C-alpha cells in the first residue's frame, strides 16, 4: 500500500467522507471557531477529518488525540484585501512535520489571479505526489460576474482539479441531482460538496443527500457545523446520510434531540 493510499484511508471510509473545515479565521473573524478545540471536542466522534491552518494545529490541545484525518490548509486571503486572491502560506513539508494526513488548497477559477493560483496548484500537486501526500483541491468558480453554482462552471472547475492531479475535489453543489451527476462524471477522484453559507438544517441535509445520490463522496461542512448550537447533532445527522444512506427525514430526527432537550428545560450551549 502506498503512503498516499494509507493517508487517504484515514479520511475516506469506504469511499465516502465527512469533513469539517475550520480554516475560515484568516479570511475574516468568523464566529464559532474562536476556540477550535471546543468544536473538535463536540464533533470528533462523527467526522472523518478536519481542516485547519498550521497555527491552529500547533496550538491545539486535541489534534494529537483526534482519531480522524488531519488536513493542513495551505492557502489564504483576507476580506481586507482581495479575498479571491488565494496565496500559499505554508508547505507540504511543514504539513508532514505537523502530522497532517493531507493538505488542501483553495483555487478560485475565474478570479483575476486565476493563472497564478493554477500555477501553484500544479506545483503543489507534484510536491504532494513526491511525498505520497493526498491533496484536497477546493475548486470554486469565483470571480466577477461568475455564477458559482452554475453546473457548467462547477463542472469546469472540478475538471481542472482532476486534470491538475488532486486526490479529492471539493466544490459547490449545483442545486439538483441531475446537474451534479454531470459534475461528478468529469472526475475519477472523489468529489465532495461544500456546506456553503449558513442555511437551515433541512436545506443542508437535503443538499448533502442529493449530492450523495448524484455520486458525490461526501461533504465538507464548516459554518453550518461550528456556528450551530448543536454541532454534535449536525455532524451525527450528516454522517448518517453520508455513511449509512439515511433519508433526510430519518437524519433530521436526530436534530430533534435538540428540541426535546430544550423542551425539558435544559440549557443548550
Q: What CA–CA distance (Å, rounded) separates 125 from 131?
A: 10
Q: What CA–CA distance (Å, rounded) separates 193 from 196?
A: 9
Q: What is the mean pLDDT of residues 14-31?
A: 95
Catalytic residue, chosen from 54, 86, 140, 209, is 140
CB 102 within 8 A of CB 8: yes
Residue 212's pLDDT is 98
Computed over every residue of the chain, the mean pLDDT equals: 94
Q: Is 13 part of the annotated catalytic residue set?
A: no
Q: What CA–CA distance (Å, rounded) separates 221 from 212?
A: 14
pLDDT band at 265 (very low <50, low <70, confident <90, very high): very low
Q: Which CATH architecture has domain 3-263?
A: Alpha-Beta Barrel (3.20)
Catalytic residue, chosen from 4, 170, 209, 236, is 170
Q: What CA–CA distance (Å, rounded) separates 244 from 15?
A: 12
Whole-model pTM?
A: 0.94
Q: Is 140 part of the annotated catalytic residue set?
A: yes
pLDDT band at 267 (very low <50, low <70, confident <90, very high): very low
pLDDT in tens, 145-154: 999 999 999 9
- 72, containing H or E segment: strand 69-73
pLDDT in tens, 205-240: 999 999 999 999 999 999 999 999 999 999 999 999
Return the residue matching grid coordinates 475535489: 169
CB 233 within 8 A of CB 257: yes
Catalytic residue, chosen from 23, 101, 167, 201, is 23
DSSP state of 119: H
Count of beta carbons in the 10 Å neighbourhood of residue 200: 9
- 158, containing H or E segment: helix 151-163
Helix (H, G, I), strand (E, B) or coil at 138: strand
CB 107 within 8 A of CB 154: no
Phi, psi for 21 (deg, rounded to 5): -80, 140
Q: What is the mean pLDDT of residues 85-89?
A: 96
Question: CA 211 → CA 101, 128, 218, 222, 251, distances in Å?
Answer: 25, 28, 8, 17, 15
Q: Is 173 part of the annotated catalytic residue set?
A: no
CB 248 within 8 A of CB 209: yes
Q: What is the mean pLDDT of residues 162-176?
A: 98
The size of the chain, in residues, is 269
Residue 259's pLDDT is 53
**Does pLDDT of 165 surpass 80?**
yes
Nine-digit cell string for 21: 473545515
Nearest to 189 by CA among 114, 117, 128, 250: 128
Q: What CA–CA distance (Å, rounded) separates 218 from 193?
A: 7
Question: CA 76 → CA 89, 118, 122, 232, 233, distances in Å?
Answer: 7, 15, 17, 27, 29
Residue 266's pLDDT is 42
Amino acid at each position: 500500500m502506498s503512503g498516499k493510499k494509507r493517508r487517504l484511508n484515514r479520511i475516506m471510509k469506504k469511499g465516502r467522507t465527512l469533513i469539517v473545515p475550520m480554516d475560515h479565521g484568516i479570511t475574516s473573524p468568523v464566529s464559532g471557531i474562536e476556540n477550535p478545540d471546543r468544536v473538535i471536542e463536540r464533533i470528533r466522534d462523527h467526522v472523518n477529518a478536519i481542516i485547519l491552518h498550521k497555527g491552529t494545529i500547533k496550538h491545539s490541545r486535541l489534534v494529537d488525540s483526534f482519531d480522524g484525518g488531519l488536513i493542513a490548509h495551505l492557502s489564504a486571503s483576507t476580506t481586507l484585501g482581495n479575498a479571491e486572491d488565494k496565496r500559499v502560506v505554508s508547505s507540504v513539508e511543514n504539513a508532514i512535520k505537523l502530522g497532517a494526513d493531507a493538505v488542501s488548497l483553495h483555487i478560485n477559477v475565474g478570479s483575476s489571479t486565476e493563472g497564478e493560483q493554477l500555477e501553484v496548484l500544479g506545483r503543489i500537486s507534484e510536491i504532494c505526489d513526491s511525498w505520497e501526500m493526498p491533496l484536497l483541491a477546493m475548486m470554486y468558480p469565483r470571480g466577477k460576474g461568475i455564477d458559482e453554482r452554475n453546473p457548467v462552471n462547477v463542472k469546469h472547475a472540478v475538471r481542472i482539479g482532476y486534470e491538475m492531479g488532486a486526490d479529492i475535489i471539493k466544490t459547490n453543489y449545483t442545486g439538483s441531482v441531475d446537474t451534479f451527476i454531470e459534475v461528478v462524471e468529469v472526475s475519477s477522484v472523489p468529489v465532495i460538496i461544500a456546506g456553503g453559507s449558513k442555511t437551515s438544517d433541512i436545506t443542508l441535509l437535503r443538499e448533502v443527500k442529493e449530492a450523495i445520490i448524484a455520486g458525490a463522496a461526501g461533504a465538507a461542512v464548516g459554518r453550518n457545523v461550528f456556528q450551530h448550537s448543536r454541532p454534535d447533532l449536525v455532524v451525527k445527522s450528516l454522517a448518517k446520510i453520508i455513511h449509512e444512506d439515511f433519508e433526510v427525514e430519518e437524519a433530521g430526527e436526530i436534530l430533534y434531540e435538540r428540541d426535546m432537550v430544550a423542551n425539558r428545560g435544559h440549557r443548550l450551549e
